[in-house]
Amino acid sequence: MSRNPPGPLRLQDARIRHQRPSPHPNFLFGVAYYPEHWTAAERRQDVRRLSEAGINVVWMGEFAWDVWEPQRGAYAFDLFDRVIADLGSVGIRTILGTPTAAPPRWLTRDHPDVLRTAVDGQRTGHGGRQHVNPNHPVFRAVSAQLVAALAEHYANHPHVIGWQIDNEFHCIGATDFSPLTAAAFQEWLRHRYGRITVLNRRWGTRFNAGTFEKFEDIPLPLRDRPDGYPPHPGHLLDFHRFTSDVTCARLGEQIEPLRAANSDWLIIHNGFFRHLDYWKLGGPLDGLGIDLYPGFGGEGRAAQTWAALKLEIARAHSGSFIVPELASGAGGSRAGNLETPDPGQMRLWAWQSVAHGADGLVHFRWRTARTGPEMHWHGVMDHDNIPRRRFRELQQEADELQRLAPEIIGTVVDVKIGILIDFEADESHDAVTSVLPSPRHQTEHILAALLGRHLPAGLVHVRDDWTGLRTLFLPSFGTISTELAARLGAFVRRGGNVICTAGTGRRTIDNAASTRTQPGHLTRLLGVQVIEYGATRQPLLEVAISPDHVIAAPHGYEIIVVRQATTCGAWRRLPSFSKARVPHPAENLPALTKNALGRGHALLLGTWVDESNVTPFIEFLASELRWRSLVEAPAIVTAQRRISPGNRILFLLNHAAEPTTINRVPAGTDLLTGDQLTHQLTLPSYGVIVAKLV
């Protein structure tokens, strides 16, 4: 990797973040390596085998605080110095992890109050990860001192090219409920609202006689409620905003000494988890990464769509991104094991990551741990350290990625249909008691349906630049600011399409119900008003577009009054229910509308989307908006296109265990084999084509 990467690195510098190309000229390919787990003889053998595997980077150090600092203030760099030098001698660079996710025993022994407090008031014991209170000043101080020492020691090391900050913020512990955190939260609220009267007004604390006299009276939500009564929505939303801000501050404290030591270092973090605003977190970073274990999603199509969602979340926040942990074998640290990947699946998942925008892959892990809770979380090498098929598959990936990197680096995923995502939309929904599908839930199913039709679709952050997009989905964003409404209106007037689902524009930024009639600030854009809505215990209605084309409404309905829009679909009673059971007065009223504005259109579906109704909804939109698929193939095939000026790369991946036929394939050359594409082709099980299109 070059010591002087071209162009701006920081995510906050990218004008269109989800289209940001790779900030470094080489494709990073490697494994997570834990030298502290192995003998000197094994480490010497590993250097030779890692070189034979064809990797160019290792990821290590993120859980080795007790190695780096065996006693407070006494730093030991010898082990990692030797390993980094040995790897560097065969051309393998190192990305180190700041090891603050797993503090050592001397810290929790000498300062037991540093341990994280659970919602029930119990302190977390030492062990595992993220077991300390991120607000504790002693933890913050020793973390800063350790990172500063690491930064100084490796500042000019020729083989250390970057850092991962901590590890998977909020994966295991996101919140703390200690008195110290309560005081920090109160101070955060004081800074946000200034006066307690402002907080009372904006939260609406008169409900249940909940008015606060001073900030010191405000407890942490979720505490001291054995009756299970739900917390105040504004209170809980602000607590999760506070939790996110604490983590963003921790990240900044670690970045500062690293940047000061070596401004050329690549600095990233791996996520993505709850109660954390990754758009804000990622700003000062050079990229974000997603840890990918498709087995968590299930098998076959389920694993394919689960992995696509995770990869798209990373791309939406980072543009070019890295997969710091990519599954190599079966996972087994929980009640049951994830399935062992079939021959070819490890490679398939690698190419799926690249198809969605990854410009770096790190398999987890090099050798399977022989002790600890993850001793059956399998890596490339098994416990007996004998190279087998996963090692050979790793070599194949390395060879292919090295050959194709010049064509791939610099390209970005071609997205024309975007699904908007936002921390605020998800957190505000989750802070309110509701049985209705969240924005996150609907996004998952909309993305799966769009990619299943092989459309140029992906996730886009609501705060990003939307240049180049033709359609935007807005799945039940409860809060619509005047600024967002203006941006959406301008997007439609320029010729774009905006598609909303039920529940849009229902709440304020403080998670109170809006006094505006839904859809609030989007009323003019959508050309309708929603005068009533409700949830149903069982499906009673459906959206009838034509006698043969219906969209189910399993969760609920909105009664829509058309102002300027046209009606594309109306509510129809299910034949199995009498008219008396149908919500008044929904039957025959508009349920799906389309409003022309400028050169574009805004559509509203008066129900929520899930797996039961997303397919006919997308079928309607594809016809109405004249979308064109990249290829014709079963949904089990991934079809993605990456582009740059003068270059188009088409990825075709078969996630099925049997051959699959693909039709309407464009002309091009398979870069893996040199073969010319044919109009119809058959991909073998777990087969991969990476084609340069003419």
| Per-residue pLDDT reduced to its tens digit, 193-234 | 999 999 999 999 999 999 999 999 999 998 767 788 899 999
All structural domains of the chain with their residue ranges: 27-174+264-410, 417-624, 637-693
State the burial class of residue 575 (Cβ atoms within 10 Å of its Cβ: 0-12, 13-18, 19+). Answer: exposed
Read off the tokens for 558: 């909105």
Instruction: Please tell me the distance from the alpha carbon of residue 271 to that of residue 169, in angstroms, as a whole number.
Output: 7
Instruction: Please tell me the distance from the alpha carbon of residue 605 to that of residue 96, in angstroms, as a whole number.
Output: 48
Structural domain 637-693, CATH architecture = Sandwich (2.60)
pLDDT recorded at residue 648: 98
How much is the pTM?
0.96
The CATH number of 27-174+264-410 is: 3.20.20.80
pLDDT recorded at residue 2: 36
Structural contact between residues 342 and 485, judged by C-beta atoms closer than 8 angstroms: no
User: Letter for the amino acid at 629?
Assistant: S
pLDDT recorded at residue 66: 97
Instruction: Please tell me the distance from the alpha carbon of residue 542 to that of residue 67, in angstroms, as a whole number.
Output: 61
Strands (E), 61-101: 93-97
Instruction: Please tell me the distance from the alpha carbon of residue 135 to that of residue 218, in angstroms, as a whole number.
Output: 18
> Is the model's pLDDT at 1 over the cut of 70?
no
Q: Is 73 helix (H, G, I), strand (E, B) or coil?
A: coil
Structural contact between residues 321 and 287, judged by C-beta atoms closer than 8 angstroms: yes
Q: How confident is the model at residue 582 (pLDDT cuts 50, 70, 90)?
A: low
Q: To which CATH superfamily is domain 417-624 assigned?
A: Class I glutamine amidotransferase (GATase) domain (3.40.50.880)
Bridge-based pairing of strands 160-164 and 556-562 is unpaired
Structural contact between residues 664 and 632, judged by C-beta atoms closer than 8 angstroms: yes
Measured from the Cβ of residue 408, the count of other Cβ atoms closer than 10 Å reads: 21
pLDDT recorded at residue 6: 40
| Per-residue pLDDT reduced to its tens digit, 337-373 | 788 999 999 999 999 999 999 999 999 999 999 999 8
Q: How confident is the model at residue 3 (pLDDT cuts 50, 70, 90)?
A: very low
Measured from the Cβ of residue 286, the count of other Cβ atoms closer than 10 Å reads: 23
Instruction: Please tell me the distance from the alpha carbon of residue 573 to that of residue 640, in angstroms, as a whole number.
Output: 39
Share of the chain above pLDDT 70, in %: 97
User: Letter for the amino acid at 123?
Assistant: R
Helix (H) or strand (E) holding 418: strand 417-421
> Is the model's pLDDT at 334 over the cut of 90?
no
| Per-residue pLDDT reduced to its tens digit, 14-73 | 999 999 999 888 999 999 999 999 999 999 999 999 999 999 999 999 999 999 999 999
Read off the tokens for 128: 């595992």
Structural contact between residues 616 and 543, judged by C-beta atoms closer than 8 angstroms: no
Instruction: Please tell me the distance from the alpha carbon of residue 125 to that of residue 112, in angstroms, as a whole number.
Output: 9
Read off the tokens for 98: 């700041």
pLDDT recorded at residue 228: 80
pLDDT recorded at residue 225: 74
- Which of 351, 338, 323 minimizes the C-alpha distance to 686? 351
More confident residue, 462 or 271: 462
Residue 35 has, within 13 A of its CA and on its CB side, a CA count of 27
Measured from the Cβ of residue 382, the count of other Cβ atoms closer than 10 Å reads: 15
Residue 692 has, within 13 A of its CA and on its CB side, a CA count of 14
What mean pLDDT is predicted for residues 477-486? 97
Instruction: Please tell me the distance from the alpha carbon of residue 508 to that of residue 512, in angstroms, as a whole number.
Output: 5
| Per-residue pLDDT reduced to its tens digit, 438-455 | 999 999 999 999 999 999
| Per-residue pLDDT reduced to its tens digit, 264-294 | 999 999 989 999 999 999 999 999 999 999 9
- Helices (H) and strands (E) in the chain — how many of each? 17, 26
- Which of 248, 173, 188, 244 minimizes the C-alpha distance to 218? 188
Q: How confident is the model at residue 335 (pLDDT cuts 50, 70, 90)?
A: low
pLDDT recorded at residue 5: 41
Instruction: Please tell me the distance from the alpha carbon of residue 85 to that of residue 77, in angstroms, as a whole number.
Output: 12
Residue 462 has, within 13 A of its CA and on its CB side, a CA count of 24
Instruction: Assess whether the previous peptide bond of 585 is cis (omega < 30° from 0).
Output: yes
| Per-residue pLDDT reduced to its tens digit, 643-678 | 999 999 999 999 999 999 999 999 999 999 999 999
pLDDT recorded at residue 336: 65
List residues bridging with 561 in a β-sheet: 529
Q: What is the mean pLDDT of the chain?
A: 95
- Which of 625, 493, 608 minimizes the C-alpha distance to 568? 625
| Per-residue pLDDT reduced to its tens digit, 469-481 | 999 999 999 999 9
Which residue carries 């188009």 as its tokens? 648
List residues bridging with 93 in a β-sheet: 57
Measured from the Cβ of residue 599, the count of other Cβ atoms closer than 10 Å reads: 10
Structural contact between residues 588 and 559, judged by C-beta atoms closer than 8 angstroms: no
- Would you list the DSSP string of 104-135? -HHHHHH-GGGBPBPTTSPBPPSSSSS-B-TT
pLDDT recorded at residue 223: 75
What mean pLDDT is predicted for residues 153-162? 98
pLDDT recorded at residue 143: 98
Which residue carries 């219906």 as its tokens? 550
Q: How confident is the model at residue 586 (pLDDT cuts 50, 70, 90)?
A: confident
| Per-residue pLDDT reduced to its tens digit, 237-269 | 999 999 999 999 999 999 999 999 999 999 999
